[in-house]
A = this chain, B = another copy of it.
């Protein structure tokens, strides 16, 4: 069973789905493809794996080259292998996703004019099977959000309950009942309520919260699923 045909070697690509949150809306980053086929169409942030790098290294290199962004944690989630997914030559693609705070990276991004944020609900036609990749990444992000807390790095250090709710609503793409949301989040026990208010949104003001880093990290690693 050890025989292999050198003809079976394939090109391996990496495609990155970068979600961004700007305090209002969930967005996703695409680049305009500047070569054929599908020249001028939008694409995920992708490129080929090189001989001397791992998939993780390739994902980071490609993201950096195309957008200027680096040092973010991306999670690998699926490898795509339909025979004709790339019409030029058979290419397998391993996909990654991440969610970042848009404001934090905007400066780097504006130097790279090929990359652009789109509202997730207004994603354009993408090359190859990239719309399918995006759909799977979105499901993965939503599932992740439902089972494990999210927010560090996407919100200001001090945030209101309303801002946190907006983050969840934009990721899950649905309105949440305020009282239920507050109860669920409080039951997670990952927030610290400050004796300080944000006065910009109403005259009464809204209490500010910070994440309890230690508890937050514990929840991230010890998945708090339906414990049996």
A-to-B contact residues, CB < 8 Å:
1-2, 4-5, 7-12, 34-35, 47-56, 65-66, 76, 78-79, 81-83, 90, 92, 94, 143, 146-147, 168, 172, 176, 180-181, 184, 223-228
Protomer copies:
2
Tell me which residues across on chain B come within 8 A of A51, comparing CB atoms. Answer: 5, 7-8, 10, 90
Which residue of the partner chain, among B9, B78, B146, B180, contacts A223 with CB atoms under 8 Å?
A: B146
Contact yes or no, B168 A228, CB < 8 A: yes
Contact yes or no, B54 A79, CB < 8 A: no
A-B contact pairs, 10 of them (CB 8 A): A1-B35, A4-B11, A7-B51, A8-B49, A9-B11, A12-B12, A55-B79, A168-B228, A176-B228, A184-B228
Which residue of the partner chain, among B55, B78, B92, B228, contacts A146 with CB atoms under 8 Å?
A: B228
Interface centre among A4, A172, A224 (most CB of B within 10 A): A4
Tell me which residues across on chain B come within 8 A of A225, comparing CB atoms. Answer: 143, 146-147, 225
Tell me which residues across on chain B come within 8 A of A34, comparing CB atoms. Answer: 1
Contact yes or no, A11 B8, CB < 8 A: yes
Asked whether A81 and B66 contact (CB < 8 A) given A10-B49, A12-B12, the answer is: no
**Distance of A134 Cα from B199 Cα, bound (Å):** 52
